[in-house]
Structure 1
């Protein structure tokens, strides 16, 4: 049985707001931290929304202390990953017991210290959490099922644009399942099953080529994606082509992990749950 009673979710965006809703449905104390000037968040009854400068360590720590936060879950976007170091400092000052850094994507563990980019930045935050002795939980989900059309520049009647061959297996997980999983484990499992763990989810496993068939279309191979967001899409496709689209990817061995390091191994922590399929999410 969980001993965690109070939760803070940092960021009310793609992942943050669903997590807030899932936790609130468990009738636990939840506070949502958002940046001053950000769009107004519609939170469930009983959830307080606090606008606070997320780069002000003392101010964030004060919110943690006021609400007696046991667990802080960062869901900041790509641009805020590096700044999480300040949130970790705030968690230390606020006596937070467990910190979930913003992962919710492809595996970022065992990336070389000299490696740059978003995957390395996330790994650096995990290392910083360890250095300041705050227990943490990292959750790898693979790409969101809901974002598949964005990932491949798909629109009805179009083709899937793919960098590479599109034949590598990928772990996809829905945002709804991610939020529900977090709410379940945080209100059901003891700290020993969560602290300093890497949890690897997988809603459905498939390749971009086979995925195109589900959408009743075909693959168009491209060298890169142009326009806004093109650089990050191209980078993601290159990571996928290397094998790391699977949540079980082992960067050190350049191969799939096994046992507790296998793709989807953490699904068992939510017994009896039926994970959403790509077909279900996209009404295929």
Structure 2
């Protein structure tokens, strides 16, 4: 009788962050022995300690340590088979401390670095994004050069980013009167809920099909142009919005006139909804095709919660 392979033990780095928290929960839900690397300081932060309490209650083993403390880092890595890093974009370069530790530990069957956005090798805004994507691409190159087995997850935008305002820079809620549409409104972007990204990510860890590959998330119902987004929203509020089309030139002028980091929202909008950086290329592996039973929230379902 064939023994069912044991589920990989998973270490999540960044468990107090939005995605890291969801990754740890998804890992436990999928019955993986799950560990979280946590800095000492997190326990004294009320918001973070509440998350840590919830995780530990659900069965996550919390290990004290940080990317800066090599000894605790290697010790944590030695307890697992898979390392998932979910540090914030500002901390992406700090993974340069993690890669040698993974190499030294010598036991990691899969590393999932902190990508979780647009494909850093495919974006076409490198001169205006303040190294946002080149930092991620650099980590890819180091992982490849070191021969560490990896999976990259490109989920495009999170629904918590830009979608709550219907892609209106500076707004906190979707407009009910007039709306700006960038470019001609036909270029498609992709939005995914964090907990869905986490579920798809955990599916990949023991899947030979995703080894040393990029998994893209572009499921039906989550790939949408600005014209389509506005139409879905108009349907939900039973009202037509006044549309103001902002040309590529106008948007680029606004980006140039706005200092960093305040211009980044517009840079990401330009990248996704004018240049089409999320959807201009075909993909080999798409999450909802690879894992058809994984449920996810569509853009329409998410917008429903904002009515």
**Does the TM-score normalized on the shorter chain lie above 0.5?**
yes
Deviation for aligned residue 1:163? 4.7
**Preserved contact between residue 187 and residue 225 of structure 2 (Cα < 8 Å):** yes
What aligned pairs does 1:1-284 form with structure 2 within 5 A after superposition? 4-12=7-15, 13-38=17-42, 39-40=48-49, 41=52, 42-43=54-55, 44-65=57-78, 68-95=79-106, 96-109=108-121, 117-147=131-161, 148-149=163-164, 151-153=167-169, 154=171, 155-158=173-176, 159-161=178-180, 163-186=182-205, 189=207, 192-203=208-219, 204-216=222-234, 217=241, 219-220=243-244, 221=246, 223=251, 224=254, 230-240=262-272, 241-246=274-279, 249=280, 256-257=281-282, 260=284, 265-283=286-304
Measure, in 2, the Cα distance between the counterparts of 1:228 and 1:49: 36
Aligned to 2:237: none
Query: CA, structure 1 residues 160+93, in 2 after alignment: closer, same or farther (shift >3 Å)?
Result: farther
Query: CA, structure 1 residues 99+173, in 2 after alignment: closer, same or farther (shift >3 Å)?
Result: same
Alignment deviations for residues 26-70 of structure 1 (CA, whole Å, 9 cap, x no partner): 2221111133323222304321222322222332111112xx210
Deviation for aligned residue 1:227? 8.5
Deviation for aligned residue 1:10? 0.6
TM (normalized to structure 1)? 0.82
Measure, in 2, the Cα distance between the counterparts of 1:143 and 1:218: 25
Select between 10-19 and 224-233 the one with higher mean Cα deviation: 224-233
Measure, in 2, the Cα distance between the counterparts of 1:236 and 1:110: 13
Higher helix share: 2
Deviation for aligned residue 1:234? 1.9
Aligned length: 266
Q: Can you give the 5+ residue segments of structure 2 that lack an aligned partner in the other structure?
A: 43-47, 235-240
Query: CA, structure 1 residues 218+274, in 2 after alignment: closer, same or farther (shift >3 Å)?
Result: farther
Measure, in 1, the Cα distance between the counterparts of 2:149 and 2:188: 31
**Preserved contact between residue 2 and residue 186 of structure 1 (Cα < 8 Å):** no
